[in-house]
Structure 1
Amino acid sequence: MSLDEKLAQLVGYWVDQGDEIVAPMAGEMASSQSYSEATRHGLGHLTRVYGTRPVDPVERARWLWAEQTRLRTQTRLGIAALVHEECLTGLAAWKAATFPTPLAWGAAFDPETVREMGRLIGASMRQLGIHQGLAPVLDVIRDPRWGRVDECISEDPYVVGTIGTAYVEGMQSAGVHATLKHFVGYSASQSGRNHAPVHLGRRELSDVFLPPFEMAVRDGGVRSVMNSYAEIDGIPVGSAPELLTGLLRDDWGFDGVVVSDYFSVAFLETMHAVAADAGEAAQLALAAGIDVELPTGDAYLAPLAERVRSGATPIELVDRAVVRVLMQKEQLGLLDDDASEPPTAIDLDTPAHRDLARRLAERSAVLLSNDGILPLADPAPSRVAVIGANSASSSSLMGCYSFINHVLAHHPETPDGIEVPSILEAVRRRWPTAIVHHAIGAEVEGDDRSGISAAVDAARAADVAIVAVGDQAGLFGRGTVGEGNDVESLELPGVQRELVEAVVATGTPVILVILSGRPYAVGWALDGPTAPAAVLQSFFPGEEGATAIARLMAGDIAPSGRLPISLPRSAGAQPFSYLQPILGGVSEITSADSTPVRPFGFGLGYTDIAYDALAVPPAPIPAGEPFDAVVRLRNIGHRATDEIVQLYARDTVASATRPVAQLVAYARVPLDAGEAAEVRFTVVPSRLAFTDRSMRRVVEAGEIELWVGDSATRRVSSSVWLSGATYAVTASDARRVEIAVDRGADVPNGRHDAGGDGAGMPAVG
């Protein structure tokens, strides 16, 4: 291969890139090369050929197959291009299904359903000739002011790791390579600002931010990783060989391809100023371990070629990356002849897609409060008021990286391409005989209060008012949440709080539905004179989200979602994580209160669950050995439900400070009315490990407090003692807890007090 041919394999080309801003600084970084010139020596990646503009999938597939044939037959090497697309909430293409946003995946606590979703998304991509998906996001949430929170799964690294790995396994089972992002530390940005510096200690990096990526690499076998835009303690990740090579490849054994986040190689010069020019930026990135520059070849083409030819950059760095790229293409069949034909018809939003989208939306809705109004009683209300800007908007159900909000927002003349019923439409379908009064009341953004009086009138004329508020996702200042839409306040945007309070003041029972991409400080809505009768939190639930919400309100299904992130008290209490040491919580030596208004893992249901004892080994366990923790529970109510059983631990004394609570494992357990179950968690040593003073991941001897509950709050508890020498965790150690659920187990009716706070009390779930 000539140098030009090698470099061509290390870059992408954005065929459709125009004035639409769908990536940071995309307009400023647009490639000046024509497509024919860029592909003269071949091409590594085709960038978002379906996902940049609304193109008909069948017509675009015909173009893509012809273009791949041209690359195979009319370039000297005959190597086809790898096609990548965004797929965070489903394939980001016109007419493709849109699933709930990742924050909703976390709220569902349901890896199996996420695995199924990944498989469906991957199958759609494969049909269209797409080889690589730019998901999942494994950034651990640290500050809800950050605009990209809706792209993330949880504030807990184990939830992020297990659910993100399930997505990887599902997608890759369909023959499409998943891409982990953003490796690593991106979400720890200063003050929750996008692209802001990250001030992160090595121990927190190791114990909180790296475990989800390690699980997806070691257990999920992911084939691609994308670097973070972040600089950690002054070192941009895109120029850090200790992370992209030493840790990722040498320590973890990753043998796939590292791709750059869009324009991040050039950012080493323009935003971080650690490179004098684009050529030096290319060398830094290539030496660090970034194999492919996306979305275009701003640094890896002419600037890098000049350095290689002058001897400033060793050709061995280029060869290393080319070998990795060609190995990936070989795995995907791109080095072979292809006699296939493009699809002449394709359904990207089948009944299977919609059924799964609805199930995930149902399982991710979190009931934050309920005075008994939900489920709505029979007979159904005869007069319903549906209020709020998000009540009649389909885009309010979608995340930032949905095609509707990411791309179609720039093409208002183009229809959605998929059916997305609004809350208003879903209410009318679910209660067809009811008289429905509708009023916007107030927009998501702005200070226009002129519509509030009409909303008040609608509420007064109704038996119940459903008020839908929250966010409108978008990018870089367009919308209230999403990439580049960071905030200083966690109050509901605009005058939506005033709208809710005015409707509540009418005396008509109010069900508040929050459609958002981040948790807001809504303590005022959960307690006191301004509190609605019920509050339902739904993190951008996707195309079937409104149908799911209507079914939940009607009682067709019970809510079972849990908060994947603590519900904040205020913006001033941020950043906050339930994974805090003693000094991170409330104390007598500060007047500031960071206690969340609802804890991590919280969520109400329509029945009562009794937790009855937590059994652990009575004798000491060697620090490097697994052990079983067994809890018994019973549905003592009259409705079937799914209970999210959560096992927590606290290392009472350690050589480094440890969190006062840490989720060890969780299980989604279906329970019929009156049914009992026994849940057995086989806790592996890695779940109790931390980074000690010598920067080793270890498990130390001593007492481990354990408790089980329906949130991070203790229900039934016990302790286990670890004995012997300190155990150093190895690569062969299991990272996921094995769970066995025996439904219908012989569980005594009596409630045994195992010594925990609230033991023997029924948990609402």
Structure 2
Amino acid sequence: MVKPWQDTALSAHVRAADLLARMTIEEKTAQLSSVWLGAEPEDGEAADVAPGQHEYAATSAALAALLPYGLGQLTRPFGTVPVEPAEGAARLAALQRTIRAGNRFGLPALAHEECLTGFTAWQATVFPTPLAWGATFDPALVTEMAQAIGASMRAVGIHQGLAPVLDVVRDPRWGRTEESIGEDPYLVGTIGTAYVRGLEAAGIVATLKHFAAYSASRAARNHAPASLGPRELADVILPPFEMAVRDGGARSVMPAYNDIDGLPAHAHAELLTQLLRDTWQFNGTVVSDYYGVSLLEEAHRVADGEGGAAWLALTAGVDVELPAARCFSTAYPLPEGLLDRAALRVLTQKCELGLLDPDWEPVTGGAPVDLNPPHMRELARKVAEESVVLLANDSGVLPLGDGLRIAVVGPLAHEQAAMLGCYTFPRHVGVHHPELPVGVAVSTLAEALRAELPTATFVADPADADLCLAVVGDRSGLFGRGSSGEGCDAEDLELPYNQSEVLNRALASGTPTVIVVLSGRPYALGRWADRAAAVVQAFFPGQEGGAAVAGVLSGRVEPSGRLPLGVPRTPGGQPAPYLAPPLGRHGFPSTVDPTPLYPFGHGLSYTTFAWETPHCENPELATDGETSIRLTVRNTGDRPGIEVVQLYLHDPVGTVTRPEVRLVGYARVPLDAGAFAEVRATFPADLAAYTGADGRRVVEPGALELRIAASSAHVHHTVPLTLTGPVREVGHERRMRCEMRVK
């Protein structure tokens, strides 16, 4: 007889509740637990095991202890050690059968993986890092990429992806800047939501991280306390998460490692329950960051023992402990009401994924599995090409001509590492296996240039060359094994590895020099930019990044990337985020000029564009209304190009200090030579809302300006608006987007 929890005609919640009522305390607790096979439990480092030797160790003590009761999650069955894709799928299926056979309800585990730069598995396509997604200003392409990544994960038995990162960059010295999308909440929200939509459309549970304020840590130090007020939290940090929950349909959230004003995120009931669930109506699962529950005891010291840490986390709203069960255990009795609340959420999600269906079977594996097929490589190439930013080209030396003698200098020109972020498999796990091939083809920039420029002659000495390409940037890594990446924070924004000498020597040669930066964060270029023939920036552009950068240099690819965060002029500290209010910018009473060398949104093309005078249909609108703006953009050059029209909001007077400008809309406009297109923006008054002195988010009557711009500092047109009517409070249902259409 089919039990109600097995009846697919019933809702997931009803089925999960029926199953929960049949479970013992031990079985409920097991659903909140995870096992990380093949990893060292004390430090999370991958085990030193080669492909073909990897065993899932079904007899391990942790798994053996849980088998009679079931298991909530399997941690990174592909992303812990290198494993052949088909072999990995077969072994995961076998492990799932073992888990099902071990518990009386026949429940499988939910398997999760990292997918920040593609599926973090050996031989899987390596996509550009999220900072490069932001540089594309192309949500549709990011959705397409995420859906392809999700489909590859689903095909081998994975259910959940630990991405995207929605931390808004506040100080680019932070090592995890490369994992973030940018310094603007609207860009992070729209691009991040696009990624969530693609992953969820493929049937993979998207996990939003890190909730919240991780990127606002003091001195940009990993895990450090976050010093920010309630308005910065509400208006800068939280909107991307809110958008991804509401508009993206994300089904999981991961708390951050940091504390906010003394309260760790993993123990923050106001954040994880009152805001996330009660206000935003999130009904998915909250999964801990790796060892985040343990850190309540070991690092934050707000818990007395593992049992106390478990109680704090469960009370706050954490449902699953990752990557392994340390605190969520029957060794520490937990209030059954909290246990039931978390277990019901886990079981409901498993039901939604089909894991409670009586006919569920694991992906069997055995057949050939290609995690790097042509369509994935093509997508990686397209994202990489759209993300390359042409910062300067005053001399007109780019695109490169035929038959040049070119010197390529700088060690990163010859390293695959310059293309790969810290959450790519080669840099995350592969570094522990130097005897293995990378698993996918990754060209260095020097190799890509030779393929791209068959008529060029490459010489060793810049003095003998017509042109010098000086390549500088980062090597990604984890916890000190690189200059960028998790735990690789910087004291300043000086180029690492003494690469300033590379630029000094190149520029001193007298040969026209193009600076190419391949990095995970922006670096200070003020000492060299005005002497360089051109400057190009790419943010860890992935396995196809070498060809993408070479294509932009040659002119085969039209540059269309825009900066997702500003590039500083000087290395000390950071440039002022463009979201700064007037006193956060340059001027009296400080002698320090924090103005970035290249501002947020900046990027050049090889053609020219004309922006005609815009038309505003209704410059006077109510505080609950909207207006439309039309603008014609024309390609006035002799080659095709892509302009990125950006819409910024300026609020002249507020009840609290306001950013001078902030992004509220954007659109990519591809145009052939001589062609034109109309861009129409629908601006809702809700986008003028901000958190006032009393903590309420309101839209106020008064004057506003919409600035139609090529960057946050390059304004083409200003459209004055007047909001009329009463002060209006807005909440979670407010409109958070400006719809931009190109005709």
Shift of 1:117: 0.6
Equivalent positions of 1:198-277 (< 5 A) are: 198-277=226-305
Asked if residue 317 in structure 1 is aligned to residue 338 in structure 2, the reply is yes
Q: Find runs of 4+ consecutive structure 1 residues off by over 4 angstroms.
A: 19-24
| More deviation, 460-469/95-104 | 460-469
Query: Quick check: 1:616–1:719 contact (8 Å CA) kept in 2?
Result: no
- 1:498-541 CA-partner distances (Å, limit 9, x unpaired): 111111221222222100000001112211xxx22111000000
Write the distance in 1 (CA, Å) between the matches of 2:454 and 2:722: 59
- 1:525-584 CA-partner distances (Å, limit 9, x unpaired): 211xxx221110000000000001111111112111111101113343437310011111
Write the distance in 2 (CA, Å) between the matches of 1:21 and 1:420: 30
- Please report the TM-score for the alignment, with normalisation by the length of structure 2: 0.93
Write the distance in 2 (CA, Å) between the matches of 1:261 and 1:388: 37
Q: Which residue of 1 aligns with 2:564?
A: 564
| More deviation, 273-282/688-697 | 688-697
Write the distance in 1 (CA, Å) between the matches of 2:503 and 2:41: 38
Q: Which residue of 1 aligns with 2:477?
A: 474
- 1:380-414 CA-partner distances (Å, limit 9, x unpaired): 31x22222111111121011101010010111111
Structure 2, unpaired ranges of 5+ = 1-22, 49-58
Shift of 1:18: 3.1
**SS of residue matched to 2:708:** strand
Query: Quick check: 1:51–1:403 contact (8 Å CA) kept in 2?
Result: yes
Query: Quick check: 1:20–1:410 contact (8 Å CA) kept in 2?
Result: no
Asked if residue 380 in structure 1 is aligned to residue 403 in structure 2, the reply is yes
Query: Quick check: 1:191–1:575 contact (8 Å CA) kept in 2?
Result: no
Q: Which residue of 1 aligns with 2:4?
A: none
Write the distance in 2 (CA, Å) between the matches of 1:492 and 1:32: 45
Asked if residue 354 in structure 1 is aligned to residue 377 in structure 2, the reply is yes
**SS of residue matched to 1:91:** coil
Asked if residue 464 in structure 1 is aligned to residue 467 in structure 2, the reply is yes
Write the distance in 2 (CA, Å) between the matches of 1:105 and 1:652: 32
With over 3 angstroms needed to count, the CA separation of the structure-2 counterparts of 1:400 and 1:416, relative to structure 1, is same
With over 3 angstroms needed to count, the CA separation of the structure-2 counterparts of 1:6 and 1:19, relative to structure 1, is closer
**SS of residue matched to 2:599:** coil
**SS of residue matched to 1:523:** coil
Which AA in structure 2 matches 1:613? Answer: T
- 1:2-41 CA-partner distances (Å, limit 9, x unpaired): 21111111011000103996679x9xxxx99443224332
Write the distance in 2 (CA, Å) between the matches of 1:686 and 1:628: 14
Q: Which residue of 2 aligns with 1:658?
A: 658
RMSD, aligned α-carbons? 1.8
Shift of 1:69: 1.3
Q: Which residue of 2 aligns with 1:551?
A: 551
Structure 1, unpaired ranges of 5+ = 439-457, 743-765
Query: Quick check: 1:623–1:700 contact (8 Å CA) kept in 2?
Result: yes
Query: Quick check: 1:573–1:594 contact (8 Å CA) kept in 2?
Result: no
Equivalent positions of 1:290-305 (< 5 A) are: 290-301=318-329, 305=330
Shift of 1:460: 2.0
Write the distance in 2 (CA, Å) between the matches of 1:331 and 1:210: 27
Write the distance in 1 (CA, Å) between the matches of 2:191 and 2:45: 26
Query: Quick check: 1:647–1:709 contact (8 Å CA) kept in 2?
Result: yes
| More deviation, 697-706/13-22 | 13-22
Match of 1:430 among 425, 449, 452: 452
**SS of residue matched to 1:613:** coil
Query: Quick check: 1:160–1:212 contact (8 Å CA) kept in 2?
Result: yes
Q: Which residue of 2 aligns with 1:119?
A: 147
Write the distance in 1 (CA, Å) between the matches of 2:176 and 2:602: 22
Which AA in structure 1 matches 2:267? Answer: S
Query: Quick check: 1:374–1:554 contact (8 Å CA) kept in 2?
Result: no
Shift of 1:373: 4.2
- 1:144-171 CA-partner distances (Å, limit 9, x unpaired): 1100000000100000000000000001
Write the distance in 2 (CA, Å) between the matches of 1:212 and 1:334: 30
Match of 1:420 among 433, 436, 442: 442
**SS of residue matched to 1:472:** coil
Equivalent positions of 1:34-45 (< 5 A) are: 34-45=62-73
Which AA in structure 1 matches 2:383? Answer: L
**SS of residue matched to 1:324:** helix
**SS of residue matched to 2:295:** helix
**SS of residue matched to 1:69:** helix
Query: Quick check: 1:573–1:593 contact (8 Å CA) kept in 2?
Result: no
Shift of 1:379: 2.8
| More deviation, 354-363/135-144 | 354-363
Match of 2:419 among 397, 404, 417: 397
Write the distance in 1 (CA, Å) between the matches of 2:42 and 2:417: 18
Q: Which residue of 1 aligns with 2:692?
A: 692
Write the distance in 1 (CA, Å) between the matches of 2:400 and 2:490: 39
Equivalent positions of 1:120-139 (< 5 A) are: 120-139=148-167
Write the distance in 1 (CA, Å) between the matches of 2:710 and 2:95: 54
Asked if residue 628 in structure 1 is aligned to residue 631 in structure 2, the reply is no
Match of 1:15 among 30, 37, 53: 37
Q: Which residue of 1 aligns with 2:428?
A: 406
Q: Which residue of 1 aligns with 2:496?
A: 493
Which AA in structure 2 matches 1:249? Answer: R
Write the distance in 2 (CA, Å) between the matches of 1:20 and 1:110: 41
Write the distance in 2 (CA, Å) between the matches of 1:495 and 1:466: 17
Write the distance in 2 (CA, Å) between the matches of 1:374 and 1:404: 35
Write the distance in 2 (CA, Å) between the matches of 1:638 and 1:581: 40
Which AA in structure 2 matches 1:299? Answer: C
Shift of 1:643: 0.7
Query: Quick check: 1:145–1:571 contact (8 Å CA) kept in 2?
Result: no
Q: Which residue of 1 aligns with 2:741?
A: 740
Shift of 1:214: 0.3
Shift of 1:376: 3.6
Which AA in structure 2 matches 1:601? Answer: G
Which AA in structure 2 matches 1:490? Answer: L
| More deviation, 247-256/711-720 | 711-720
Q: Which residue of 2 aligns with 1:453?
A: none
Q: Which residue of 1 aligns with 2:14?
A: none
Which AA in structure 1 matches 2:716? Answer: R
**SS of residue matched to 1:715:** strand
Which AA in structure 1 matches 2:261? Answer: D
Identity of aligned residues (%): 50
Asked if residue 718 in structure 1 is aligned to residue 741 in structure 2, the reply is no
**SS of residue matched to 2:614:** strand
Asked if residue 371 in structure 1 is aligned to residue 394 in structure 2, the reply is yes
Query: Quick check: 2:391–2:534 contact (8 Å CA) kept in 1?
Result: yes
Shift of 1:688: 1.2
| More deviation, 3-12/282-291 | 3-12
Which AA in structure 2 matches 1:574? Answer: Q
Query: Quick check: 1:374–1:555 contact (8 Å CA) kept in 2?
Result: no
Which AA in structure 2 matches 1:590? Answer: S
Write the distance in 1 (CA, Å) between the matches of 2:456 and 2:587: 52
Query: Quick check: 2:619–2:627 contact (8 Å CA) kept in 1?
Result: no
Q: Which residue of 2 aligns with 1:189?
A: 217
Which AA in structure 2 matches 1:220? Answer: G
With over 3 angstroms needed to count, the CA separation of the structure-2 counterparts of 1:282 and 1:565, relative to structure 1, is same
Q: Which residue of 2 aligns with 1:180?
A: 208
With over 3 angstroms needed to count, the CA separation of the structure-2 counterparts of 1:211 and 1:602, relative to structure 1, is same
**SS of residue matched to 1:207:** helix
Write the distance in 2 (CA, Å) between the matches of 1:573 and 1:238: 29
- 1:670-692 CA-partner distances (Å, limit 9, x unpaired): 01111112211101233211011
| More deviation, 559-568/429-438 | 429-438
Query: Quick check: 1:368–1:526 contact (8 Å CA) kept in 2?
Result: no
**SS of residue matched to 2:104:** coil
Shift of 1:587: 2.1
| More deviation, 467-476/500-509 | 500-509
Match of 2:521 among 510, 518, 521: 518
Equivalent positions of 1:152-191 (< 5 A) are: 152-191=180-219
Write the distance in 1 (CA, Å) between the matches of 2:548 and 2:467: 19
**SS of residue matched to 1:243:** helix
Which AA in structure 2 matches 1:348? Answer: L
Which AA in structure 2 matches 1:485? Answer: C
**SS of residue matched to 1:524:** coil
